[in-house]
Structure 1
Amino acid sequence: MTIAVILLTFFSGLAPAGVILFTERTITAVAGSLDSGELQSTAITSASLLIAITMAAFTLNIIDSYVQSLLQVKLSNKINLDIVRKATSLELQHFESSTTYDSLQRATSEAGSRPYQLFVDALRVLSGLTSLFSVSALLFAWNPWIAILLIVSCLPAFAAEIFYGRVTWKLEHDRAAKRRWASYLQFLTTNDRNVKEVKSFGLGRLLIQRVADIQRGFYDVDKSVEGRQAKVTALAGLLNVAVSGVAIIIAVRSALEIGNVGQLAGTIAAVTAVQSGASGVFVGLGQLFEHKLFLGELFSFLDTPHDVIKSGTRSIPRELKSGITFENVSFTYPGTDKAVLSNISFTAAPGEVIAFVGRNGAGKSTISKLINRLYDPTSGRIMLDGHPLAEYDISQLRSTVGVAFQDFVQYESSVQENVTYGAVNYLDDRVVSAVALNRAGADFVDELPSGLETRLGRWFEDSHQLSGGQWQRVAIARALAGDSQIILLDEPTAAVDSETEALLFRRLREVTQGAICFLISHRFSTVRAADKILVLENGNVVEMGDHRTLMNNGGHYASMFAIQAEGYQDVETNTRK
């Protein structure tokens, strides 16, 4: 398809020269016929060829337009898919950096149009060069100075395109963060997950004003730049008009000297064609320079190193034997200096439920990210069945880990897919989803309008919104959908009632036999049944043991448990009163 467009453009570029040549010959032949009083056959032949070339040029333009429209869609789709593929290949640490979001903003803002415009302007240059050389060849034969003068007169416009192309790119490059902020503010006002607070706190006017301020700032700068560019473009255009006028005067004088009216008509047409061709070439080159700058942002994003987390080659065993061991593991998030974890050591055997408790920011969720290899330890190592975790194939590792994050995703899709996204090999397997939902205590699915096929959320037609607790049970079902030997549950009962919580953990004990279950929670009613509880404080394990042992020790765990229990007792006492 690309080659077809190039060929069509090339032959279309030859058309102006043919039109001019046979216009000149037709007029010359007609003038000769008038002088002799007899109709010359060359006049009919030239006129016929002129009509044929005009019709051919029109047909080529129609075909070219059709093929280009198809190519635009294909190219835009490919670039957007490339961006999505790249984004999915990046690791978590990329998306916890504002630099990545700025790069993504710059890449996506022009992805839909710039690649195609680059191609179109390249074709414009090709067409312009073809027309320019073919018509200039005629013009040089008639009057070379006119051709040279016309080409040189287009250079100021070319210089202006280059200069303001760089200015435009620099403006957009520096605006990436502000554009993201404006998009985020608009996002806050346009979806159901934020509208409750926006309405309750009356934030609408404030958010609109902030978006308007950003847009006004962009407009003021753009207005100034566009104004300066318009002045320069106008001066360059006036120069072209003046040069064209001089060229036509020279052509008239030359025609009067040699008495060739046809050549005069051809020269006047050639002046317009050369000037248009030269302008198209130089403006196209300027646009190509600007596109190159913008597409540099796209390719910079696509070239982002994605193999930060190196995959090993060792296969995950079908059945874990010794389990997971943390050996003096420390971790510091990239771009920060403070260690989140310091010399953490523990062992988790198959069949055990390991709970992590501690204050916010103690490092509990970070441990789950390390187990899933969303990050690698800064120092120390994690062992799986006696081998470093980094030696295992990362895709196999993540497929054997079922995870429900604290900030789990609410997919605007069917219940079936919401569950089996956790086991994509069973995407359409209704038995797998039904079993997982039963394990998670999500019995409410049977009451939904279309059962497993009910679309969840509010963003699409015929969808059904769930409560927070129901969404959480769907997320837990997703974690339990696969053949997971390691299960990570981060605050799994934060949004469920106590009855559901008790049911869930009874079932967890049953369904996770032989698997390692890691549990992160602030609710001690959740963690007290764990086989081993690790108490984290400032990134250190300060206590370890089961509930009974830790209570007898009277340390951090016992203190936090007593505080939470006291709260429940106060509520119960007040209720009785």
Structure 2
Amino acid sequence: MKSKNPKSLFKMLISLIINTFKACPIYFTFKSFIELMLGTFLALNIIALQSLFDEVSISLTDDRMYGKLIIDLIFLFICIEANPFLNCINTIIYGDFEKKVTLKFEYLFNQKCSKINPIDFENTSILDEIDKAKKGIINSVRLVTSVMDAVFIYLPYFVIVGIYLYNIKPSLIIIILVIFLPSLIAQIVKGKLFYNLEDTIAPIRREYNYYEQCITSREYFKETRILGAYQYFNKLYSKTLVILNQKNFKVKKKSTFMELKLKVITISGYLITLILLTNNVLNGSITIGTFGAVLASYQLLTNMMNEFISITIGKVMKESGSVRNFVIFLEQPEKSGDKITIDSAPEIIVDHASFNYPNRNEEAISDVSLVVHSGETVAIVGENGAGKSTFVKLISGLYLPSKGKVSIGGYDTSEIDTSHLFMNISSVFQNYQKYKISLEDNVAISDTETVIDENRVECALNMADLNITNEVFSDGYKTILSKEFDGTDLSGGQWQRIAIARGLYKNHNMILLDEPTAAIDPNEETIIYQKFKEISKGKTSFIVTHRLGAAKIADRILVFSDGQILQDGTHNALINTEGKYRDMFYAQSKWYN
């Protein structure tokens, strides 16, 4: 992802409104109509009051029929009662409208996250951008509804009332505009303050959320309680919470004092307006009915103006920071490439490839060159931090080299569309996911393009050597794998077998196993690897392992050290050659002897 560019508030709103309309066009149109009617009837109140007051004033001095008075009363009654009726309809619509728009925005956010370059998840600045964009989802929904309120309720109201007041006395509308100008300025300044605040607190909020998870999450509670780490994380949690509150308070304090100073101008304007109205009725410029209507509606007018500026515009300016982050995130350029499908077991060519992680100077992989032939099984071994897992991510196309290039099936990984590249590649990583869904879904999630095939699920689980018993899997393949959802808990070894089955379930011509059996007994591990050797025939396969006994099944073994290939050969060749592989192999064999 590239760094974000400034985006105008207007363009941002247009983008959000278009997506909102796409999410629920009927609701959007109907809600807009109801709000337009609401704004119109609110404005007609003042006209209905004037007409009624004038008619009452004339009726008191002129003996005539009360037909016009009755019509004016009915008109005023309709204007007054229309307000709660339309508000009620608007409130009912809003609940469903908000849910649909939120789901649409969350879908767009998740879809964008799925297209982010995987290496970006190693970059803290990108993680901050994602956090800020996620925070902007709900604020974007609120912003859209605020803009709809402004356009369809407040704008018609102010246009009708403005024209009415201007026709009475042009100076009235000018004074009212001057009264609320300071409030408008205050909201614009406040928006900039909160925009800058969001940039500042995003990384702190990520820490805060993580510490909270360490205290409350089911995945952490056993270790934090037994090891006594609760107090430690609670202290960090409290510390970040204090920092967050301090930074929020500082900005709120600054904006509040600014608003209070500008309120003095607003109050002065109120007084001038009342004096002007009184003077005009005394010199006969306006009727008693007009004076009464304007005076009676003045509180509504000022309330509407305050709501519009302090709440609606205030919300727009306050939330524009996180909303801008959300919109910019959605519009970041995505990695594109040739839509090529590799249908056969690919040859892998690594040409002077180097790789370093974001914000790190040292190279995790340094000037590696290698050719892996189609259908070959390669084991990758080495000490911790040697670069094994990083190398696997490079040859799978998950990461792109900083220097040099990696080709899969004759195609440069930097030039292939990732969705097509991964279409026939499967993997099992050491940090596999424990999805809190059914057993069959946990396995079949690796191939969501097709309907779940229970025969394939059974075959994959058999190859992974998972023992399905009624005691553990009471609902068979439908058993939910989480106590949180009335399911079952599994051991680390069982979960690892499910992760292996997940990788085997997917149709593939290339597979990568990164420490897939670390939680499995060595004897059972041997059985799994022998099965893997059989099913990998004709497929390009990679196995990363610390247990060198398992590496013997490979056609070749790569020994990594400090991001480079130190040795390359078969087990027999390497065991008979003085070097790191032989030293590690004999060191491990002592544990089993």
The answer, yes or no, to whether TM exceeds 0.5 is: yes
Structure 1 letter corresponding to 2:487: S
Give yes or no for the alignment of 1:52 onto 2:78. Answer: yes
Structure number with greater Rg is 1
Give yes or no for the alignment of 1:83 onto 2:109. Answer: yes
Partners of 1:409 and 1:228 lie apart in 2 by: 45
Partners of 1:477 and 1:328 lie apart in 2 by: 34
Give yes or no for the alignment of 1:403 onto 2:431. Answer: no
CA contact (8 A) 1:154 1:240 kept: yes
Structure 2 counterpart of 1:65: 91
Partners of 1:244 and 1:392 lie apart in 2 by: 66
Structure 1 letter corresponding to 2:236: R
Structure 2 counterpart of 1:183: 209
78-87 or 123-132, which deviates more: 123-132
The CA deviation at 1:523 is 0.7
Structure 1 counterpart of 2:320: 292
The structure-2 alpha-carbon separation of the partners of 1:494 and 1:247, relative to structure 1 and needing over 3 Å to count, comes to: same
Q: How does 1:155-554 map to 2 (within 5 A)?
A: 155-237=181-263, 239-258=265-284, 260-283=287-310, 284-307=312-335, 310-317=336-343, 319-320=344-345, 323-386=347-410, 388=412, 394-444=418-468, 447-458=472-483, 460-554=484-578
CA contact (8 A) 1:22 1:49 kept: yes
496-505 or 394-403, which deviates more: 394-403
Structure 2 letter corresponding to 1:199: R
Aligned partner of residue 567 in structure 2, secondary structure? strand
Aligned partner of residue 344 in structure 1, secondary structure? strand
Give yes or no for the alignment of 1:106 onto 2:132. Answer: yes
CA contact (8 A) 1:244 1:271 kept: no
CA contact (8 A) 1:440 1:476 kept: yes
The CA deviation at 1:516 is 2.2
Structure 1 letter corresponding to 2:383: R
CA contact (8 A) 1:315 1:396 kept: yes
The CA deviation at 1:106 is 0.8
Partners of 1:381 and 1:58 lie apart in 2 by: 67
Partners of 1:357 and 1:405 lie apart in 2 by: 15
CA-to-partner distance for each residue in 1:263-291, whole Å, 9 max, x for gaps? 22112134334434444444444543444
CA contact (8 A) 1:75 1:116 kept: no
109-118 or 467-476, which deviates more: 109-118
Structure 2 letter corresponding to 1:545: G
Partners of 1:133 and 1:386 lie apart in 2 by: 66
Partners of 1:140 and 1:14 lie apart in 2 by: 17
Aligned partner of residue 488 in structure 1, secondary structure? strand
Structure 2 letter corresponding to 1:450: D
CA contact (8 A) 2:342 2:409 kept: no
The CA deviation at 1:392 is 5.6
CA-to-partner distance for each residue in 1:170-227, whole Å, 9 max, x for gaps? 1122000000000000111222322222112212122222222222233234334434
The structure-2 alpha-carbon separation of the partners of 1:221 and 1:314, relative to structure 1 and needing over 3 Å to count, comes to: closer
The structure-2 alpha-carbon separation of the partners of 1:323 and 1:131, relative to structure 1 and needing over 3 Å to count, comes to: closer
The structure-2 alpha-carbon separation of the partners of 1:252 and 1:425, relative to structure 1 and needing over 3 Å to count, comes to: closer
CA-to-partner distance for each residue in 1:429-465, whole Å, 9 max, x for gaps? 111110001111112456521121111134x322211
Structure 1 letter corresponding to 2:293: G
Partners of 2:226 and 2:46 lie apart in 1 by: 71
Give yes or no for the alignment of 1:558 onto 2:582. Answer: yes
Partners of 1:324 and 1:227 lie apart in 2 by: 60
CA contact (8 A) 1:426 1:432 kept: no
Structure 2 spans left out of the alignment, 5+ residues: 1-26
CA contact (8 A) 2:139 2:323 kept: no
The structure-2 alpha-carbon separation of the partners of 1:84 and 1:391, relative to structure 1 and needing over 3 Å to count, comes to: closer
CA contact (8 A) 1:135 1:270 kept: no
CA-to-partner distance for each residue in 1:61-100, whole Å, 9 max, x for gaps? 3333333333222221111111111001112111111111
Aligned partner of residue 113 in structure 1, secondary structure? helix
Partners of 1:192 and 1:244 lie apart in 2 by: 58
Structure 2 counterpart of 1:575: none
Partners of 1:143 and 1:182 lie apart in 2 by: 56
Of 143, 152, 158, which residue of structure 1 is paired with 2:169? 143
Partners of 1:433 and 1:183 lie apart in 2 by: 36
Aligned partner of residue 464 in structure 1, secondary structure? coil
Structure 1 spans left out of the alignment, 5+ residues: 570-577
64-73 or 351-360, which deviates more: 64-73
Aligned partner of residue 511 in structure 2, secondary structure? strand
Partners of 1:120 and 1:147 lie apart in 2 by: 24
Partners of 1:100 and 1:507 lie apart in 2 by: 41
Partners of 1:240 and 1:391 lie apart in 2 by: 61
Partners of 1:327 and 1:253 lie apart in 2 by: 89
CA contact (8 A) 1:132 1:273 kept: no
CA-to-partner distance for each residue in 1:475-529, whole Å, 9 max, x for gaps? 1111111222212111122110122112112211222221222111111121123
Aligned partner of residue 263 in structure 1, secondary structure? helix
Partners of 1:230 and 1:124 lie apart in 2 by: 23
Compute the TM-score of the two structures, normalised by the length of structure 1. Answer: 0.91
The CA deviation at 1:384 is 4.1
CA contact (8 A) 2:136 2:324 kept: no
CA-to-partner distance for each residue in 1:223-275, whole Å, 9 max, x for gaps? 34434433443454454344334423432343344394322211213433443
Partners of 2:416 and 2:40 lie apart in 1 by: 61
Structure 2 letter corresponding to 1:191: S
CA-based RMSD:
2.5
CA contact (8 A) 1:313 1:391 kept: no
Give yes or no for the alignment of 1:128 onto 2:154. Answer: yes
CA contact (8 A) 1:182 1:211 kept: yes
Structure 2 letter corresponding to 1:305: P
The CA deviation at 1:133 is 2.6
Identical amino acids, percent of aligned pairs: 25
Partners of 2:192 and 2:416 lie apart in 1 by: 47
The CA deviation at 1:34 is 1.9
The structure-2 alpha-carbon separation of the partners of 1:46 and 1:484, relative to structure 1 and needing over 3 Å to count, comes to: same
CA-to-partner distance for each residue in 1:24-81, whole Å, 9 max, x for gaps? 2212222222223444322112112111222333333333333333322222111111
Partners of 1:125 and 1:396 lie apart in 2 by: 44
Structure 2 letter corresponding to 1:296: R
CA contact (8 A) 2:197 2:251 kept: no
CA contact (8 A) 1:27 1:43 kept: no
427-436 or 327-336, which deviates more: 327-336
The structure-2 alpha-carbon separation of the partners of 1:384 and 1:176, relative to structure 1 and needing over 3 Å to count, comes to: closer
- Give the paired residue count: 564
Structure 1 letter corresponding to 2:328: S
Partners of 1:35 and 1:389 lie apart in 2 by: 92
CA contact (8 A) 1:403 1:479 kept: yes
